[in-house]
Every structure is written in C-alpha cells, then in structure tokens.
Amino acid sequence: MPPKLVSHARIMTIERHILEEQKIHPEATGTLTNLLYDLALAGKFIASNTTRGGLAEILGETNEVNIQGERVMKLDQLADQTIYRMNDHTGRLAAMASEEHEGLLPIPERYQTGKYVLLYDPLDGSSNIETNTSIGTIFSIYRRISDSGPGTMEDCLQPGRNLVVAGYLLYGVSTMLVYSSGSGVFGFTLDPDIGEFLLTNDNIQIPKKPKYYSVNHGYQKYWGESMVRYTQYLQGLDGQIPPLSLRYAGSLVADFHRNLLEGGVFYYPADHKDPQKPSGKLRLLYEAAPLAFIASQAGGYASDGHQNILDIVPTSLHQRTPLFIGNRTLVEKAEEFIRQYGI
C-alpha cells in the first residue's frame, strides 16, 4: 500500500495558480496565462544556466557593450535571447523591449502580433555573476495601445499604473518567480527535481515593522543633505526610530526581495556622482516601475522622491529615475526629507 501523501498545504504549481488567477478575470482569453507560462519556462532555462555559471563556458564577458555602456556578460546575452526567442513567435505580443537593447524589439514579420507588449531586464545585477551573488530577471506586461499591426514606441512608453502583470525571477540559493497580476503578490520556488515552480509565498504583504535599509554607502560623498539626514534617520541616529540593519547586495532583485519579505527600504537616490546620470542609475521601465507595481500590491510604496513611481509617464525607453521602494512609512519619510532639504 503506497504511503498516504500527507500535505499540510495544497501543492500549487505556477501553471495551476495562473489558471486560477485567470478565472478572476472573466474577460481573460488565456493569452496572458500562456504568456506567463512562457516566462516561467524561460526562467527555468536561464536558471539552469546560471547554476552552471561557474562551470559552463558561457561564464565571463563577451567583448560587447550594451546600451547602458556596460560590458555584456555571456549569461546576459543568453538570458536576453532566451526571453526574446521564447516570445517572438507566439502571436501574443505586439513588441518587446529589453534593457540590453537601445530600441524596441519588433516581432518578426513572419509571425502574427498580439495584444500585449513585454519589457524586460534579462539579467539584472549581472556584474555579480562571477562572485556568485544572486541575480534576477525583471519583466513587465502592458496591453498595447495601438490597434493592430507592429507594436509602437507608444505601446511601450506607458506608466506603471497601466501594468497588467509585473514580476521577477531571482536566481539565488533557490530560484524563485514572484509576480502580481493586480490581485496580490505570489512567490514560487523552483523544485529542480521536478522542474516545477511551486507556490511558497501566498499573497505576500510587506511586514509593517521594517528590519533593513539598503543603499550604497560608498556614494555618500555625492549625496545632498536630505539623503545624509534620511540615512541617519534609518540608522536611528536622530532617535525617531530604532536602528535598521544595513543589507546591500548590489543586486536590485535580491535587495528588493529581502525587503519585500522582511520589511525595509531600498533606495538608489539621485546623486551628484555622474553629471550624465542626474537621476541616478536605475531604469524606470525595466526596474523601478515593475517593482513599484509589486511593492504596491504587497502594501508598500515606491517613489522617485517626489511622486509615486507608478504615475511617471516615460518619455524614453531607457530613462533613469531615483528609486525609494519598500515600506510605505519609510518611503514617505524619504519624500519628507527631500521636501525639507532638497534632493
């Protein structure tokens, strides 16, 4: 007699979860469901290569430089191509845009176009690959604005408020996929033995009591007074709150994910380090907006220091923004310091 399977919780695969989510949206046609399947599959493939990173010949840099002026790691290229080729022929997308490429990525003419656009950062934090620090993929899905035919730049330059789905994959101690379609945030952990993402974090809510703050202290000399005072506030130095612990991996997805689960704030402020980047380093469309959508679904908040990230209407694919994201109280406090002392 086989042993009776004892489970204290439903075994929920991401496929089943997406189908259940689809039932909440009666108008859903299954296209979005299939698009999410495809992203989960791409994530499994990328994960299988990142875990072999130290062994496979793909580790190390190509001799190419991307639109951001950053040297492209071979794993970056693999992740970028995997996501594009997983989605270019399905007829679900009108266009794509990747943080690794300057312009919009059209759907090849031989394939049909669909009603969504996909924007993605294929491997954020890739400078950490060779030190075996967690890295991630970030994705955003919008409904196209144009009626039909090839997707347009207008389809891609939408505010985060218009997001239909946002999510990320985190390639760390385990591989996780975290996503929201507007009805809460759900985390799935990849079981490599069966190749399935299983629900491990149901309806994530940022804890009310924060534990961490995440910032690169190495740039303190470039900060304005507001950031110096804000950081001292987080460290408990002005006596307003108990000190928070500093955690900074230099990999946005890893830092964001920790604060999502444990409570805290990540910030990459505008600084005076690089006159070419007065708005800081992070990209609005590929990093800030999708994570702001997830943070808001988890009871948190994201700001550029003045306004909700989700309200910013992009004017270019690669525009950058200062980012404060995590517990609403901590992000609003940053806005307060900036109002009082300037950026």
Q: Residue numbers of the site for ligand P6P (CB under 6 A)? A: 124-125, 127, 216, 250-252, 281
In the bound state with ligand P6P, the residue whose beta carbon lies nearer, of 91 and 250, is 250
Residue type, 24: I
Which lies closer to ligand P6P via its Cβ, residue 251 or residue 303? 251
Q: Is 233 or 267 the residue whose CB approaches ligand P6P more closely?
A: 267
Residue 176: helix, strand or coil by DSSP? strand
Rg (CA), the chain: 20
Query: Phi and psi dihedrals of 246, rounded to 5?
Result: -90, 130
Cβ atoms of 54 and 132 within 8 Å: the answer is yes
Nearest distance from C-beta of residue 251 to ligand P6P, angstroms = 5
Task: Kindly state the smallest distance separating residue 13's Cβ from ligand P6P, in Å.
Answer: 29
Q: How far is the CB of 328 from ligand P6P (least distance, A)?
A: 21
Q: What is the DSSP letter of 111?
A: S
**Is the distance from CB of 294 to CB of 324 less than 8 angstroms?**
no
Nearer of residues 18 and 135 to ligand P6P, judged by Cβ:
135
With respect to ligand P6P, which residue has the nearer C-beta, 206 or 253? 253
**At closest approach, how far in Å is the CB of 216 from ligand P6P?**
4
The least distance separating ligand P6P from the CB of residue 126, rounded to whole angstroms, comes to 7
By beta-carbon proximity to ligand P6P, the closer residue of 148 and 216 is: 216
How many residues are present in the chain? Answer: 343
Alpha helices in the chain (DSSP H): 14-24, 31-51, 74-87, 153-156, 225-234, 252-262, 289-297, 328-341
Q: By C-beta, is 127 or 162 nearer to ligand P6P? A: 127
Q: Minimum distance from CB of 259 to ligand P6P (Å)? A: 12
- Strand arrangement, sheet containing 175-180: 104-106, 93-98, 116-124, 135-143, 163-171, 175-180, 185-191, 196-201
Which is nearer to ligand P6P, 102 or 154 (by Cβ)? 102
Please state the closest distance from residue 153 (CB atom) to ligand P6P, in A. 23
Residue 320: strand pairing partners: 283
Long-range contacts, 64-73 (Cβ 8 Å, 24+):
66/99, 66/100, 66/101, 67/99, 67/100, 67/101, 67/102, 67/318, 68/99, 68/318, 70/126, 70/127, 72/100, 73/123, 73/126, 73/127, 73/129
Q: Spell 279-296 as b/e; 16+ CB within 10 A means b.
A: bbbbbbbbbbbbbbbbbb
Q: Whole-number minimum distance, CB 324 to ligand P6P, in Å?
A: 13
Query: Residue 329 Cβ, how far from ligand P6P at the closest point, in Å?
Result: 22
Nearest to 280 by CA among 216, 230, 341: 216
Q: Which two tokens stand for residue 337?
A: 């310091």
- Of 94 and 169, nearer to ligand P6P (C-beta) is 169
